[in-house]
Every structure is written in C-alpha cells, then in structure tokens.
Structure 1
Amino acid sequence: MRWNRIAVAVALYMVIASMAPLAAEAEGASGGDLQPYILHQGYEVEINGAYAVTEVTRVIENPSDESISYSFVFIIPEEALISNFSIQIGGVTYYADVLEKDDAQERYNESVEEGRDSGLVSSSRTNTFAYSVSLSPRETVRSTLRFEQMLLKENGWYRYELFMAGSTDSLKVGTLVVDVAITSMSEISEIRTEGYKGELDVAGPRGATASVHMRQEDVSPSEDMAVEWSTKAGPMEGTLLFGEKDGAGYFVHVFDPDIEGTRVPKDFVFILDNSGSMSGTKFSQAKEALTSIYGGLYREDRFSFVRFSTNAIAWKDELVGANDDNKDLILDHIDGLVIEGGTNIHAGVLKALDIFKNDGDSVPVIVLLTDGRANVGLYNRSEFRKDVALKNTVDASIFCIAFGNGADWTFLEALALENNGKATWVKEEMDAKNAIKGFTKSFSTPLVADLSFDYGDGVTDVYPTSFPAHYKGSEVLLAGRFPIGQDEISLVVSGRSGDGEIVKHTTISTEGVENQDFVPRFWAFQRIQYLLGHMKYNGTDNASVDEITELALEFQFVTDYTSLYVELPIEMTEGNTMNDHPEYYPSYGSPAMDGGAASESDVPGFMGVEVLLSFIAIMSIGWTIRRSRRGHRRT
C-alpha cells in the first residue's frame, strides 16, 4: 500500500489584457481528435431573499482507450465570490480551503518541486473559473464549484442569471439539470424566465416560495437562462432575519415598503457633453436619450440643463417646472447644439451643483451624459471625485450614462457610486432609448427621501452606510452585527414621503427566532464588496487588505488576496481502477460510447488509480478574472 498526495491550487488573478482562449488538447495516438464526455452537468441554486448560492457539478468521463487532456470553464457572474471547490474520490468529497494567497502559492510550489506537472489555465472569457484535467482511459472526474452573490431588486423585479452557453465548449452533456429554489422575505407575486427556449418546470409562486426545474439529455448548452420574480411590498419598518456565527449575532434588514400617497418630487439637472470627443454616433445617442428622459418627467418635477465642452453653460440658472412648454423649449435647445471644443466635465458638474437650491423638499438628481474623456480643467480622476464630494452639499445623487465603446467607464461608475447613484453604458451599436429605459425608470419615482435607520445600542458594523432615497420598485438591503445575549433591537426608520415626515419605531425580539445560516455570510459578503469597491476607485490600502483577508479566511471566500487550496491523501492499491467497477460502464462503455444519454444513476462518485495518477499531472486550477468594462445590464 502506498500514498500519493495530490495538490490542486486555485489562484485568483486580475487579468489586464485578453488572454489566450481555452483550447482542447488531446493526448495519445489520435493526435488531438479525442474528446471527453460530460456525463452530468448540474446547477443547484438556493436563493434566500436577495442572496444566491450556486453549486455547479460536472462529471467528466474519458470514454476512449487513450489518455485525454481537456480544459473546462465554469462561467460565474461578475459580482459573485467563489466560496468552494471540491472533487469526489471513492465516494468521499474533498473540499478546498481558503488560504492567504502567499500561503497557497507556497504550498502549490512545494507540490511542483515534488515532481508533479503544473501550470496555469487562462481564458479570454471574463469571470471564468478555468481548469484542465488529464484523464486516463475510461476514467471519470467529478468536480463541484460554489459561488455566492447578492441580487438587486430593480423596477420591481429580482433577476438571477445562469450562464450556460459555451460552458462545455460544444461538448454534449448526457444529463443537464437546473434546480432553482427561491425563498423570499415577502410574498412572491409573479415568476418568469428569459433566454432559455427549452421546456421548464416553473412551480409557484406559493406564498414566499417558487422554483424552476429543467432536465435535458444529450444536449450541448447553447443558451443562458434568467429567472425573474417580483415580490409584494413589505411593512414600513422592513423585515429582519437573524443568524449566528462564532458567538456573534448578525441580521439582514430588507426595506421595501410601497408608500401610499404623493410621491416625492424631484429636482433634475441634466448635463450634456457636446465636446469634440462626443462627435458622431455618441452625440446622436445622447440627444435621443435626453428626449426620452424628458418625456418621462412628472409635472411636479423641476429641471434645468447644462452643456459643456471647453466651458460649461447653463440653459437656465434656476430650476423650472416640468410642464409641456418648458419641455418643448429645452428639447428645441438641445436639438440645436453642435459639437465643439475640449472636454471639461468638472466644470459641467460644478455648474449643475450651483443650480440646486437647498430650499425645498424635492430629491436632487444629476444625470450626466458623456464619454468621460476629460482633457480640460480638473481631469485628474481622483482629485475630480474628491472635489465633487466636497461641493455636493445638497447630497445630489449622480447618475451617469456613458456613451461610446471607449468611454471611461471606471471613472464614471465611481463618480456615480460615490454620490449615491449608479451608471449605465450605451455602446455605439445600441439603441439609446431602449438601452436606458430600465435605468432611468429605476430612479424616476422616489418614495422616501432623507432615509435613515437607527438600530439602537449594541448594533455595530452596519453596511451600507448611505442611502438618501428609496425608489419605487427597489429595496434597501442592510446587514449588521450585534452581541449574542442582546434580546431585542430598537429600530427607528425615518424619512420623508410626499405627504410629510415618516418616523417608525419598532422593537424587534432576537430571542427564539429562526437562525438563518446565510445571514452571517451575507454580512461578510457586503463588507468585502464594499472594501473591494473602495480600493478599486481609491487605491489599495493596507487596512482594507488586512480586513478583506481576515473576513475571507473566516467566511471562506476567494478574493484578490486569498486562494483555494486542496490537498488530497489518496490510498492506492494494485488493481483499484475504474475498470474494476463495470456497473458504471455496461456493455463496454458509457452512455457516450453507446450513443445514449446519462441518467442520474449513471453519475459516478468514484475515481480509480489511473485517474488519480493522471490527476497528479493536473494543471493548477486558476480562476482568471478580468473585470469587464461594462455597465448596468438591465434595460
């Protein structure tokens, strides 16, 4: 009897340039014509409120009599964090551990020095977890990847996307299974699916639950799938769920009331870039977008307009009512604008801020339409954003619409997020009106302004920390901590609706409530994403890196500063191979060899010595991420 140790390292890389695409590589006499067969590919998705955990399981078989090496990918959402990777051997599942990146790299290097072949797999796809396997004849590998993400409610709907197209590199899958289970914090009103054209079993909604199931055989996934669902509004104080981990209490607070009465009016200043860099399609798209936006203003709203090139010029220095006459006047003015001069975005934003008067109860909103390519005035990105934050004394939300394939997306996204707004990106091949439809609707109807939450004594580390308004069809998600033993939380929600001030006092008991396992992870996810976003726009700092690393190790998340590592002790004896288990391979082979499809009973959970020996030659598993320079996907 002898022991071999197989090391599989999962490293996180920020890829700046496009990488070479994953390519199939077959070994043996066939000279590259051999391909593996995917017996089973399954997606198990559990969604609690706005938090989704996805497990993707893939069982790969070499149905031939020669060795095969092949590269595979798991495609994950841009905003998700990987939380586990595992392989199953002999009915036993071995899970990877999250380690500090240097520690994982050191252990991986040791495995290389011991003579095991290694390398890194790269991909041209964004947000992919890529790995390569070497399969001995007739051998099988089973792997599972788990990732977690937070979903946003926009325009009344949650949306979960499953990226299946291209995940198998056109290889056939014996059994393709998708199971999505949704448990909402309030009653589900409707559920629907998009993208996937095959037959789906949609169950519900039944109260606060719904599910989607799909099963196909002998297919090559060529379509993505999206599941969307709407929920009924919650109570005025919101809904709290609780969890516990390592002696600390955690909560998630969902605030999504549908306030009855008059909506809160808005004050808009629209800023249009008519500089030379916006010439051509971009300027036409921006004008078209403004025509659509002005058409959606309510009569109680007010607005003004600023255009900038080398300098910034206001259409009017005060806000005017959004009646039909004023809309016609501004649209005629915009129609007559032409391209000229340099790009002084800073002057345009400051001119807009000067127009706002802190003399009313309206919600101040700036909508900036530009390609973001400043070359006049203050155009250092960091100094620009700091100056705007200092001078935005009315707490105006800034929403950015980036135009053109070469737009400075990172800058515009940062400017929006730091000023309680968001951004979207209109590429030159898009229809501008359709591209911004959902985006502008998301901030068209504020229900509560000057929103604040106070949880009383004992509650700490609440994130996020800023949310000036709650808009119709959206929700506010907060997460915090409290000491175990604190038996209640004294919640005060305050704000202002169209009918006046709102103050809601509620005492919420923490005793005897059901412990939700996802709640502590939700809090950690929120905090890690906040810190990563802060450093993305403001540069790396040691305190944030240390906190991210500590949280990632505690909650087992893969981040820029942590990696997955699994070490597998395998007991191997003579003759202990898959060939000794004919129940997996009736009549010579697998369903792939016989031209049939695999059933769930065909999914093996064992790898023999030959695949283990070939696993020693496995390339390291690398998760390569290139943050795609794209904006808001919803329309």
Structure 2
Amino acid sequence: LNSISSPYHVICLLPIFICVSVFPSHHLFLSQVEVHSVTVDCKVTSRFAHTVMTSRALNKANSSQEIFFEVELPKTAFITNFSMEIEGQVYVGEVKEKEKAKKQYEKAVSSGQTAGLVKVSGRKMEKFSVSVNVAAKSNVTFVLTYEELLQRKLGQYEILTRVKPKTPVNEFQIVADIYEPQGIAFIDVHATFLSNDLLPLVEKTAHISFSPTMEQQRTCPSCDGTLIDGDFIIKYDVNRAKNLGDIQIVNGYFVHFFAPPDLPRVPKNVVFVIDRSGSMSGKKIAQTREALLEILKDLHEEDFFALIEFDHMVSPWRQSLSKATKDNVAEAMKHVHKLRDMGATNINDAKRLPDRSVDMIILLTDGMPNSGESNLGKIQENVQSAIGGNMSLFCLGFGNDVDYSFLDVMSKQNKGLARRIYEASDATMQLQGFYEEVSSPLLSEVDLRYPDNAVEFLTTNHFSQLFNGSEIVGGRSFEDDFKVQGQASASNWDVIYPDEEYIFGDFTERLWAYLTIQQLLEKSKSGSPDEKVNATAKALEMSLQYSFVTPLTSMVVTKPETEDGTDSPLIADKLTEAHQLAIHFVYCCLVSPAVDGDPHFMIELPDRGDALCFNINDKPGTIFTLVRDPESGILVNGQIIGDKKIPPDGKINTYFWRFGIIHQTLGVRLEVSTREISRNNMSHPQLPFLSPFSVDLLVTKDRSLTVTLKDSVKFVILLHKVWEKHPYHRDYLGFYTLDSHLLSPSVHGLLGQFYHGIEYEVTDLRPGEVPEKPDATMYVKGQELNVTRGWQRDFRRDVKNGENVPCWFIHSNGTGLIDGDETDYIVSGLFKTV
C-alpha cells in the first residue's frame, strides 16, 4: 500500500435505529416497521469528510405510527442538511440563527414535544434523532448530511462510526471514497463486532467494503437480532514528501497541510500542577496518581520536569525543575505514591512556577475554585500574566461538575487546549493518551506567510506548537501563483506553488469555511471584547452562508401538519463542549432522579431523551426516604413543610425544607436545611480513623451545595429563596443526583429505586383536558397507566428561573410507577429507616 496514489475506497458506517413507538425501546414494536434500505455515501477528499446517510422505511401497521430515525455522528462534525420525504412531500431543514429558532423551540416544548434533535452520546459522538408520524402502509425516507475535517493524532487519521441497526436490513449498502493526492501510506480497519465469519467480508485493498447480506447480519439463522452492533474504526495516514507542506488548490481556494516528517524530538520542560483538594477524593485522585506514575516512566532523560500540588495551599515537590534522570524520576514516583486529597481548591495561587523556564504546564483539576481568588475572569487574567506568553497551558478537567468553559478559555489564552477526563475505569488511559499527544513537540511558533496581494480571507497562519504525529492545516482564497514562506523556531523555507491541481467537488472552499468558522468560534471565547464581538458576527455570517449547524445556528425541521392543522418544528443544535459537560453528568448512569418544588419528583432518562415526573402530597412535617442503600450504608431522608397559612384557593403547598444524609461506612451524618448546614461524625468503635475530607461540601453563590461522599455518590441541594414577607410561601430546597453509579443494586427509596433504570413504553397519544398537554397510555412494571405530557422545572443550571424539561406525568402520587404506596416511604425521624 505504500505507493498507492489512486482514489481510495473505504467503508464509513453509521448507526441506524428505526422503530415504532413514541419512545423506542422494546423489540415488540419493531415488527410494525420494515426498514427497506440503509445507504451511506462517505467521500473524504484530502482529510475533509462529506457524509450523506439515507434510510427508507415502511409503516406496515393499519394505523399511523411514529417512526424514529437516529444516527450518531462525531462531535467535531457540522450537520449541513437534513430532509424527510413522506408520501412524495419533501420536508427540508433550514439553518437559522439560533436566537431566531429559539421561539420555535419554546413553542414546541410548551406543546409537550421533544424539540431537541441533538444529544450527547458518549465521549466522541452526538446523537441526531427525529421522529415523524407516518400514515398506515406509507413510506418515509430520511436523509442526513454532515461534514468534518479529520484530525491527525499520533501519526494517523481516524474515522470512528457507531453501527447499531438493531435489526437486519434488506439493502445495507455503504460506500465511501477516500482521495488523497499524496497517496495512502497505510490503512487499518477493525470493528468491535467483527466475528470470524464477518471478517472475510472486509476487503482491505484499494477498495474497502463491508456489505453483509441479511442472513450474514443475523445472530443466528432463525434470529431477528443482528451482529452489527458496535464501533467500526478506520485508521490511515498519507505519504509525506521531504518538503515542508502539501497544498491542494481548487477554484480559487487552497488548503495547506503541514506535517514535516523525520524532525528530531525537542527536549521539553514540563510542570504538572495537580489539584489535591477534597473534591478529588476517591477514584479521581487514585486515577491521577496512577496516570502520573505511567507518565513519569515515559519522560526522556534530556527532559526537565516539576510537580506542584495545590489545594488551599501550594506545595512544590522541589523548588526548581529536575532533570529526568532515573534517580530523579524514581524519587518523583515515590512522592506521587503519597499523593492524597486534602483541602479546598485555589487555582489562582497554583500559577506560581519554578524559577527555571518552562515550555509546558499541565493542570489537572476537577472543579471550580472555592478558596482564595474566585472571580473566574480575574483568575484567567492572573494566569495569563504569570505565564506571559512564554509557555503553553494544558488543562485536564476531571468529573461531572468541572467548569469546562473556564478551563477551555484559560488554556486557549495560553497557547494550549483543554480536555475532559471522564470518570471511568479507563481514566488513567485517557490521561496517558492525552499526554502522548502533546508530550513530543517538534516545532514551536510556526508561521506560514503568503503574499498579501495574492491571498485574502486567511485562516490562522500562526501556530504555537506542532506535536509529533499531528498536522497543521490552514487555508485561504488566492489569486494566480503564489509563494509560501515559513518560519518555525530557527528554520526558514520557501516553496513556490504554480498552476491549480483540481480535485473533484468544491471541498477546498467548504474546508476553508469549516476551518475559518472553527477558529472564529475559538476567538469568540478567548479574544478581547471587540475581537469576541467581531469573531462571533463573522462566524454566524459564514455558518448561515455555508449552512453549517454550529453553536451559533440551529437547523429548523418543520414536520408535517398535525391533525389540528399546526406544524411541528424540531430544532437541531450544535453542542459545545461545555454543553457536553452539562448533559454528560447525567449520562454516567441510566437516570438522573431529582425532587424540587411542591414536591415534584423528576426522573430524567438521557439515553431516551425523556423524563418521568410525579408529585407526592402529604401533610407538613412528614419525612420521606429518598435514597436508602443498605450495602453502602447511605441514607437520604427529606422532611416537607407547608405554607405559612392557607392560601385563598384553599390548597396548601408543601416543599422539602431539610434533608438528612448518612454514610454509615464513613461515619458521616449531615443535616441540610433552608437555614443551615451541620455535620457530625458518627461514633462507632469499629470505624477506622476518618479523614475530614471523607465528605466534600462545595457551596456556590450561597444557593447551591454539592455533596460528594467519598468513593460513592454526589448530590446537589439547591436553596430557593422566597421574599421574606411573602404572605404564604417559604424558602425551600431542591435535591438532584449527579452521580449514583457506585450504589448497589439494592438501593431503594422514592428516588433510589430509579437509579439503575426503568423500562416503559408510551402509546396511544391522544388529546388531554388541556390542549397543550396530551394524554397517553404507559406500560410500566406490568401495569397500564394513564399519563399526561407536561413539563417540570429543572433548576440545576438556572437556580432562579429554571428551565422546562418535558416529561410524562404519572398521576395519584406516582401510583404504578413507584413501588408500593407513598406511605411506605414515611419514616419517624430525619436519620431513621423506619
């Protein structure tokens, strides 16, 4: 394959999930729809991928059915088009400014529809989903288009696609072309689902294909299940000449790829700044410790390094950088073995550095600063001033509640980047993988210069660093022949590029637009105030011009009119990494239970993009068990309180006003009320010495308390302040679960019983008593319930106003949804189990 220069064919698979029901889940409903075909046309031209996915399905039922279309696409991709064809009528999505689409979105939500089309799906993917009501015996065709620039990491490009058809498909035809004028250096294809029978179907020649028949897709000859379920990964690289770049020219636009081979490794000076605050307790600090031990082993002897730990104080391992000799590395590893979580988080003071010059700082932290300087803008300003443009800052954010936007801006201001480290069993590998990417800088301060009179609308032409195995990509429109001049560190070069060398399509213009928009979005976060305004305006203009769904735009898809004659708009947004964070913290487990309001219980199910809600009504003073896990010794009880006096309408509202939290194993007893927070350690003769940081309490703006119980769970308690002189209402509390995946299968309680998921189906959607709140039938726990589509307030991101979350409301105190009766959860005291 080393000399291949002809167009390269490669398969590019996408997950397809089409089913019948309001929310897809059980295989029972799959027989009602027949998937005729799934086709994927994926073209990659000089690293720029253009993918069109088409799927056609038939509603075989004798009545109209809701058919779902789901596809997972890379987070780095921009959706450019979506359309549906139903009975010969085509409904095409339109890219609009996000603010203009907002009213349509709110209208859809208020009418009980799930209007958001894009959701998080794991670390690298986003899930695009849409549903449409299809008449009996009618066909529907879905077409989705997206584009992305493949990024070179560790010497290769990767195309990762997730394949989940759920059932064998009649025509499963997927074809892709990779055209690289430089030729393909190597290519590798593997998938998590490739069995010995399927492996021969993958042809790894100039034409790569994978198109199994229905019989080959089945899990067994008589089964309806499919073997095609998992990740399909293509890795390749291109041939690289000894010169310092490759330029592709089409129709007045050029793209410059810069990844010179065989450059010597540059010794580096690196400082690891490690957050050891109490919130890093448990798995986070253990994983950090393990990763640092592996990273220290990989240091080269010509490198210099330092370790700085911080909480509310800063503690350098040594006062200056140390050469990475075997003895010094061994001493550092002994020190890392002793790393423990301790105090609060003071990122501002952690900017203090050793005296010797430093090329790279790697900050490992999990949360918001809660000690010393707490103004985020001031911290960013102080860090930038301390670094002074002389080094790069890389920020690694741990956990579900880290302020990713804060770290992202701070790193970009200092020639670095931010990454999220997911709390999972492979967190150590994630840290090692990130370090492997950035640990070998080859060039610094790279400038690509083009004659001013020959080019216009240039993307960024200055790059702080080029790492081993990566690639710099720039682009611009131009006139006539031009010369490229470059400088990197102390090296200079000149290259003249003559006539245009045409490649098919207009990919260079769209790739140039893609790059420009990406760079403008970065500048809109980290530039000066004027730069932010100008960059945002230009990025919006180009997003609309080239029909890219970016964080500034939305794609509005108007579904067919409903029976009442109204249209049904759906909105597809582009999630930023900060939004990924906001959604990801409920993705660690199947559900995200909460209670907030009168008292309103909400069970969010992010895997299904849905939520269930119910109320519990009882007399003031009643205490309920919310969470009880006998195996881990965790107990959460809550007491309700009523209005100050009976309102004119005669209905007394009740709210939770205090919670009791126990962790029997850690000996922790915590009481949180609308007035105070009190903590007592429980005395027990068999309990070991308790660290004062076995429970971490983080108060934000006097309205939010995050409770982290070491090695177990994380809750958030919100304080809702009411006007002190209000004649009826009182202050009250809301309770949200951020992380519950370490609780045992025996966990129970009004919230706890849902921590490990719940299966249900919703059918027979029909008008309700209120026009905008339709009724439906829910099948759950062997029972048939009448439920109503409504919405519940979620105050996690906006404590004052909250935001509407569509949910299915279960009547009569959650009867049929909760186990037993609501009175079964009443206990006699705040820390009692009976």
Residue equivalent to 1:66 = 63
Residue equivalent to 1:360 = none
- Provide the C-alpha distance between the structure 2 equivalents of 1:343 and 1:135, rounded to a whole number of angstroms: 54
CA contact (8 A) 1:84 1:96 kept: yes
Q: CA deviation at 1:172?
A: 4.9
Question: Of residues 393, 398, 403 in structure 2, which corresponds to 1:398?
Answer: 393
Question: Of residues 445, 452, 456 in structure 2, which corresponds to 1:457?
Answer: 452
Asked if residue 487 in structure 1 is aligned to residue 480 in structure 2, the reply is yes
Residue equivalent to 1:155 = 154
Distance 1:552 1:216, change over 3 A: farther
Question: Of residues 226, 229, 249 in structure 2, which corresponds to 1:222?
Answer: 229
- Provide the C-alpha distance between the structure 1 equivalents of 2:474 and 2:175, rounded to a whole number of angstroms: 28
Q: Which range is displaced more, 282-291 or 539-548?
A: 539-548
Structure number with greater Rg is 2
- Provide the C-alpha distance between the structure 1 equivalents of 2:493 and 2:157, rounded to a whole number of angstroms: 26
Tell me the secondary structure at the aligned position of residue 64 of structure 1. coil
Distance 1:231 1:492, change over 3 A: same
Residue equivalent to 2:706 = none
One-letter amino acid matched to 1:521: R
- Provide the C-alpha distance between the structure 2 equivalents of 1:300 and 1:457, rounded to a whole number of angstroms: 41
Q: CA deviation at 1:474?
A: 0.9
- Provide the C-alpha distance between the structure 1 equivalents of 2:408 and 2:567, rounded to a whole number of angstroms: 39
| Structure richer in helix, relative to its length | 1
Residue equivalent to 2:684 = none
Give a deviation string over 1:217-239, Cα, whole Å, max 9, x none: 27555323222113333443201
Q: CA deviation at 1:214?
A: 3.0
Question: Of residues 415, 418, 421 in structure 2, which corresponds to 1:423?
Answer: 418
The two structures, once aligned, show a CA RMSD in angstroms of 3.7
Question: Of residues 287, 290, 310 in structure 1, which corresponds to 2:289?
Answer: 287
Asked if residue 372 in structure 1 is aligned to residue 367 in structure 2, the reply is yes
Q: CA deviation at 1:144?
A: 0.6
Q: CA deviation at 1:32?
A: 7.9
Give a deviation string over 1:441-496, Cα, whole Å, max 9, x none: 112222222322111223233333542221211111112222xxx21222112223
CA contact (8 A) 1:25 1:32 kept: no
Give a deviation string over 1:186-227, Cα, whole Å, max 9, x none: 332222223342436555565xxx644334427555323222
Number of residues of Structure 1 aligned to a counterpart in Structure 2: 535
Task: Specify which structure has the bigger relative contact order, considering alpha-carbon pairs within 8 angstroms and separated by 6 or more residues.
Answer: 1
CA contact (8 A) 1:489 1:510 kept: no
- Provide the C-alpha distance between the structure 1 equivalents of 2:512 and 2:118, rounded to a whole number of angstroms: 32
Q: Which runs of 4+ in 1 moved over 6 A?
A: 31-34, 89-94, 102-110, 537-540, 611-618
The runs of 5 or more residues in structure 2 that have no matched partner are: 1-18, 121-125, 218-225, 586-834
CA contact (8 A) 2:20 2:29 kept: no
CA contact (8 A) 1:356 1:394 kept: no
Q: CA deviation at 1:40?
A: 1.1
Residue equivalent to 1:528 = 517
Tell me the secondary structure at the aligned position of residue 300 of structure 2. coil
Residue equivalent to 1:257 = 260
Residue equivalent to 1:25 = 22
One-letter amino acid matched to 1:371: D
CA contact (8 A) 2:254 2:476 kept: yes
One-letter amino acid matched to 1:63: K
Q: CA deviation at 1:351?
A: 1.4
Q: CA deviation at 1:372?
A: 3.3
Distance 1:391 1:243, change over 3 A: farther
Question: Of residues 234, 239, 245 in structure 1, which corresponds to 2:246?
Answer: 239
Give a deviation string over 1:74-101, Cα, whole Å, max 9, x none: 3222221111123457889775443445
Identity of aligned residues (%): 26
One-letter amino acid matched to 2:457: D
Question: Of residues 339, 342, 350 in structure 1, which corresponds to 2:341?
Answer: 339
One-letter amino acid matched to 2:144: L
- Provide the C-alpha distance between the structure 1 equivalents of 2:112 and 2:319, rounded to a whole number of angstroms: 65
Tell me the secondary structure at the aligned position of residue 405 of structure 2. helix
CA contact (8 A) 2:363 2:394 kept: yes
CA contact (8 A) 2:55 2:141 kept: yes
Question: Of residues 267, 276, 290 in structure 2, which corresponds to 1:274?
Answer: 276
Question: Of residues 580, 585, 593 in structure 2, which corresponds to 1:628?
Answer: 580
One-letter amino acid matched to 2:384: A
CA contact (8 A) 2:72 2:162 kept: yes
Distance 1:211 1:418, change over 3 A: farther
Distance 1:65 1:93, change over 3 A: closer
Q: CA deviation at 1:516?
A: 5.1
Asked if residue 39 in structure 1 is aligned to residue 36 in structure 2, the reply is yes
- Provide the C-alpha distance between the structure 1 equivalents of 2:285 and 2:106, rounded to a whole number of angstroms: 53
Give a deviation string over 1:105-149, Cα, whole Å, max 9, x none: 899999x9xxxx995544694233322222222111112110111
Distance 1:424 1:72, change over 3 A: same
Distance 1:328 1:119, change over 3 A: closer
One-letter amino acid matched to 1:159: E
Residue equivalent to 2:134 = 135
Q: CA deviation at 1:158?
A: 0.8
Tell me the secondary structure at the aligned position of residue 352 of structure 2. helix
Distance 1:544 1:505, change over 3 A: closer
Tell me the secondary structure at the aligned position of residue 173 of structure 1. coil
Q: What's the TM-score, normalizing by structure 2?
A: 0.58
One-letter amino acid matched to 2:569: S
CA contact (8 A) 1:128 1:625 kept: no
Residue equivalent to 2:300 = 298
Asked if residue 145 in structure 1 is aligned to residue 144 in structure 2, the reply is yes
Residue equivalent to 1:186 = 182
CA contact (8 A) 1:131 1:619 kept: no
One-letter amino acid matched to 1:129: F
One-letter amino acid matched to 2:321: L
Residue equivalent to 2:355 = 355
- Provide the C-alpha distance between the structure 1 equivalents of 2:253 and 2:289, rounded to a whole number of angstroms: 47
Distance 1:386 1:242, change over 3 A: farther
Residue equivalent to 1:385 = 380
Question: Of residues 534, 537, 540 in structure 2, which corresponds to 1:549?
Answer: 540
Q: CA deviation at 1:34?
A: 6.9
One-letter amino acid matched to 2:58: E
- Provide the C-alpha distance between the structure 2 equivalents of 1:281 and 1:96, rounded to a whole number of angstroms: 44
